[in-house]
Amino acid sequence: MSTEVTVPNNGNVVRPSLNSWISDWFGDDLSSMFNGNFNRGITLPAVNIRETGDAYFVEMAVPGMKKSDFEIALENNVLLISTGREHQEESEEGTYTRREFGYSAFRRSFTLPETVDEQKIMATYQDGLLSVHLPKKEEAKKKPARTITIS
């Protein structure tokens, strides 16, 4: 452990930082845990959003889930997609019991444009891909160009 105290030319005492003491006692791994982002292991699913002339599509890669794990809601023109999943496993071998459990969850929100027809929103989940279809209102759909004759 480094307990050196250095005295620079100006006479002020410089003490080692708490991070250097933690690093000396426990190694760099623990020190970096306190300095780093605690959410580093938590990841949000990748999302693709695309627009066509008739609709918007939100696609989210979430493998290993079930359709029943998702909750999709629309609140004040905001699309909310969330999930919460608990996993428990227990096995007994002789006099030992092994229990493992985990919980994973995320919540994503997307502000929808006024052009979305909220009554026709649909969602599907297949092969690890959640797809939300957000159709546009009729007045918002792109219409083909029309030729106007000059009189």
Which CATH number is 89's domain given?
2.60.40.790
- What's the pLDDT tens digit per position in 111-128? 999 999 999 999 999 999
Spans in the chain with pLDDT lower than 50: 1-2, 5-6, 30-42
Which pTM does this prediction carry? 0.60
- Residue 130: in which H helix or E strand, if any? strand 129-135
**Count of domains for the chain:** 2
Q: What is the pLDDT of residue 31?
A: 42
Q: Do residue 110 and residue 98 come from a single domain?
A: yes
- pLDDT score for 22: 55
* Closest listed residue to residue 128, CA positions, set 86, 78, 83: 83
133 and 55 Cβ atoms separated by less than 8 Å: yes
pLDDT confidence of residue 30? 47
Residue type, 149: T
Let me know whether 58 and 109 are in one domain: yes
* Token pair in block for residue 54: 């008739």
Q: Are residues 60 and 119 in the same domain?
A: yes
pLDDT of residue 112: 92
